[in-house]
Structure 1
Amino acid sequence: MKRLVAALFVLGSALPCLAAEQGMSKGAFLKESQNVLAPLQFVKFCMNYASECERSSPEARLPAHDVALAALQEVNASVNQAISPVKKSTNPLLARWTISPSSGDCNDYAITKRHLLLSKGWPASALRLAVVFAPAGGHLVLIARLQDGDYVLDNLVPEVRDWRGSSYQWVSMESGEDPRFWVSIAKQDQRDFAELGNR
C-alpha cells in the first residue's frame, strides 16, 4: 500500500522512464481491481482540460485492428518526436500536465497521445492513462485497449507493445466506465509471463 501511495503521489513530477522489453504479442487485458484516488495532477488536468475527461459519445468506435495498430504506431512515434524531454517541477502547486507542449515529461507525452486519438474518434474507454512503478520511480503511460488486448504507448519506447512485454509494475489506471475515475490494477497472473516468454 505504501508503494501504491508513493507512486500516485509522485506522478505530478517529471520522472525518468525505463526502457521496457519490446515485442508485440497478442495478449490479455489489464484487470481492474478496486477504486482508488486519481492522481492529484490528473485532477488538475481535468480542471484545465474538462473535455478530455468526459465520456465519449455513443458514436465513438475503435477502427479495425490493423488500422488501429497503425494509428497507435503513428501517434506514438509522432508525439515522441514532437516533444523534447525535460524534467519538470515536482512541486504539486507548480506541476501541470500540458497537451502538445514543445517540451515536457512523460505525463505530457501520455495525455497528448490520448488527445490525438480521441480527436480521431476513438472512445475514451479504450484510451486509459496508467500509472506504473519502476526502480526509477513513478511513470505515466497510455494504454490502448484493442479487441485482442491492451497495448502500451510510452515516450521512451518507439514501438507500441503488448502490456506484458513491459517490466513495469502496474499500479493504477483510468476506469473503463468513466475516465474521471481511477482503479487499481490487479496483480497479473505470472502464467501470462511464462506463456509470453515461451513465444
Structure 2
Amino acid sequence: MSTTKKALSAALAGALFALVATVAPAQALDITNIAFVQTSASVTSIPIGHAEFCASRPGECQPHAQVVAAVELTPGRWNELLTINAHVNDTVIAVSDNDLYNVNEFWTYPNGYGDCEDFVLAKRRDLINAGWPASALLIAVVRERNGDGHAVLMVRTDRGDLVLDNQEGTIKLWNETPYQYVKRQSQADAGKWVDMLDDRQVVAAIN
C-alpha cells in the first residue's frame, strides 16, 4: 500500500472511530439503543454449516465460562479490529464452497481461499487470539438486498454492534449496513443461536 493510501486509510479510520465514539457514553451501556441489535429470548435453529463445524470442533462451540456483555472500544481495540479485518480480507480469496469443496455449504478456516463464513471464522479466531472475549464475537447470518444469504462477524462493543464484512472494507455499525439481520450466535453459548429482531425499513427492500 502506498504512503498516500496509508495516510488516507488512517484518516478515515480516525474519523470513523470519532463517529462511533459519539454513539454512547463509555460508562453507560444501554443495549436498547439502536446501535445494538435486539434478539429473541429463546434459542433458534443453528445453521447447518455451523452445526457441522461444531461437530468437528466441539471445543469451539461451548458455553462461555464468563460472558462479557460488551468490549470497551478503546483506540487500541479499534486498531486491532481494523488490522485484523483488513488482514483477513486482503489475504483470503473469496471462493464458493461449491468451487472449493463441491458442496453447497462447508464452514471451515480458510487456507488462502474461502467463502463468507470462512472469512468470519478467521476474523473471530484472530481476535480471540488477540485477547478479545469470545462472547463479544458473534457470527451472524444476514440477507442481502437480492435475498442471498451472507455471513458477517458482529462485534459487541460499548459503542454498539460493529460489523466486520468481507464484502465491505469499512467497519460499520450494524444499522448502517444494507442487510436484513436474521440470527446470530448466543452471547452465552457459542454453540447456540438466537433470532435477531430487525424491523428497519431496509427489510422492505429485500426479496
Q: Is the 8 A contact 2:61 2:191 kept in 1?
A: yes
Q: Which residue of 1 aligns with 2:8?
A: none
Q: Secondary structure at the match of 1:89?
A: helix
TM-score scaled by structure 1? Answer: 0.75
Determine if contact 2:140/2:183 at 8 Å carries over to the other structure. Answer: yes
2:165 alignment partner in structure 1:
154
Q: How does 1:24-173 map to 2 (within 5 A)?
A: 25=20, 26=23, 28-33=35-40, 34-58=42-66, 62=71, 64-89=73-98, 95-134=105-144, 135-173=146-184
What is the letter of the counterpart of residue 82 of structure 2? Q
Specify every segment of 5 or more residues in structure 1 that has no aligned partner in the other structure, as ranges: 1-22, 191-199
Normalising by structure 2, report the TM-score: 0.72
Task: Tell me whether 129-138 or 54-63 shows the greater mean CA deviation.
Answer: 54-63
Residue 189 to residue 65, structure 1, CA distance change in 2 (3 Å)? farther
**2:64/2:188 contact within 8 Å kept:** no
Kept in 2, the 8 Å contact 1:52–1:115? The answer is: no
- The number of equivalent residue pairs is 168
Q: Superposition RMSD on alpha carbons, in Å?
A: 2.5
Q: Which amino acid aligns with 2:116?
A: C
Matched with 2:188 is 177
Kept after mapping to 1: 8 A contact 2:142/2:182:
yes
Q: Is residue 72–residue 157 contact of structure 2 (8 Å, CA) maintained in 1?
A: no
Measure, in 1, the Cα distance between the counterparts of 2:147 and 2:184. Answer: 19
Change (3 A) 1:94 1:148: closer
Distance 1:144 1:163 in 2: 10
Provide closer, same or farther for how the CA distance between residues 55 and 70 of structure 1 changes in structure 2, counting only shifts above 3 A.
Answer: farther
Structure 1 residue 35: deviation in Å?
A: 2.0
User: How far did residue 58 of structure 1 move?
Assistant: 4.0
Give identity over the alignment, percent: 32
Structure 2: gaps of 5 or more residues: 1-15, 24-33, 202-207
Letter in 1 for 2:124: R
Deviations 1:52-110 (A, max 9, x none): 22344549894652222111111110000111111222999663212132111101001
Q: Which amino acid aligns with 2:156?
A: R
For residue 121 of structure 1, what is the amino acid of its counterpart?
A: G
* Contact 1:152–1:160 (8 Å) recurs in 2: yes
Counterpart residue number, 2:31: none
Q: Which has the larger radius of gyration?
A: 2
